[in-house]
A = this chain, B = another copy of it.
Amino acid sequence: MRVGVLTGGSDCPGLNAALRAIVRKGVQEYGDDFVGFRDGWRGVMRDETVTLDIPAVRGTLPRGGTILGSSRTNPFQEDEGADRVLGTLARHGVEGLIVIGGTATLGIAARFAEEHGVPLVGVPKTIDNDIPLTDYTVGFDTAVGVATETIDRLHTTAESHKRVLVVEVMGRSAGWIALHAGLAGGANCILIPEQPFSVGKVCEWVESRFRATYAPIVVIADSALPTPDEIALPGVTPLPGSESRFRLSGVGEWLGKEIERRTGKESRTTVLGYIQRGGSPSPFDRWLATRFGLHAIDAVHEGDWGSMTALRSTRITRVRLAEATASLKTVDPELYREASVFFG
């Protein structure tokens, strides 16, 4: 069978592990041959391919990034984009397509499946972990690991200098990394987009922490926002970009300054940024990506089009792409409340 593969959206650790599993099982058990599309949907649109066979995936299991390259191109927003995609798939005789991506990339896949009947299956990856119907997405565990290691490091400097340290982690629309890394790193409080925060409350936690002799570490998702009245407060001058209702660009830096202004405690902000999506995947992500890859090629051979591999407990299951891309998985308020016993 002729199988196409692409990786789209922001890169994250584990993509190569998934590719390797797809190719190993496809070639060895099904006798497939593969065409790799370069840089996500863009490569399909432009008919740019990458060799994808067993030698190409050898030794890639522990490597971050993706040997196929990636992009955020959306063919539905390009001139005749969809037609060009269909043309490329036809030209290569692609009988099944595996799309590895986050919400946006998989959403495009869902449209191609539904509207154009493209025979495809999806594999969910994103460090943000915000895809529903799967316990975890590929890349999340590694990102949590990087963030936790950073928080571990910052504890000593917080202690030695009696400073507030604010750590801004990624999380475009969900606070999963903040929640997990904050819990694992022993943060003093965790601020996520699902729960608008009160700077006043954060300052109380900071001060109670100092009284308990420990210096506080505040973990904040880069999409977290203060409650609306806080933004409107006279003394508060949001950074440029805050006109957005959904995002206060540089929220970590802003919060650090607010804490310093209100409590008089020295405060420093560390923005984690791209480190969170780089480097070698954690064992969990390698295991998850490998299993997703093995099950995705099975789904291709079963013709289970429009499905997405998903983790439920310790089993790999399949869900509908359309459903998995219809909403975002955000942090359950109950989970957040559970974590709040460590705040302050």
Contact surface of A with B, Cβ cutoff 8 Å: 10-11, 13, 15, 21, 24-25, 28-29, 58-59, 61-66, 69-71, 135-136, 141, 144-146, 148-150, 152-157, 159-162, 165, 180-181, 183-186, 214, 268-271, 273-275, 277-280, 282-284, 286-287, 290-291, 294, 312-314, 338, 341-342
Contacts of A165 in B (CB 8 A): 274
Verify B338–A156 contact, CB threshold 8 A. no
Chain B residue at smallest Cβ distance from A312: B313
Chain B residue at smallest Cβ distance from A16: B156
Contacts of A290 in B (CB 8 A): 183-184
Verify A279–B69 contact, CB threshold 8 A. no
Could you tell me the distance between the alpha carbons of A132 and B74 in the complex, rounded to whole angstroms?
45
Could you tell me the distance between the alpha carbons of A282 and B183 in the complex, rounded to whole angstroms?
12
Chain B residue at smallest Cβ distance from A270: B273
Contact of A160 among B70, B141, B284 (CB under 8 A): B70
Q: How far is the CB of A118 from chain B (nearest CB, A)?
A: 24
Contact of A156 among B63, B159, B286 (CB under 8 A): B63
Verify A270–B275 contact, CB threshold 8 A. yes
Could you tell me the distance between the alpha carbons of A159 and B165 in the complex, rounded to whole angstroms?
31
Q: How far is the CB of A298 from chain B (nearest CB, A)?
A: 9
Could you tell me the distance between the alpha carbons of A181 and B153 in the complex, rounded to whole angstroms?
18
With A184-B286, A282-B145: A154-B274 Cβ-Cβ less than 8 Å: yes
Could you tell me the distance between the alpha carbons of A71 and B294 in the complex, rounded to whole angstroms?
37
Verify A314–B135 contact, CB threshold 8 A. yes
Complex A-B: 11 CB contacts under 8 Å: A28-B341, A62-B186, A69-B162, A141-B284, A144-B284, A154-B274, A157-B278, A184-B284, A268-B273, A270-B275, A313-B313
Verify B341–A64 contact, CB threshold 8 A. no
Could you tell me the distance between the alpha carbons of A153 and B59 in the complex, rounded to whole angstroms?
13
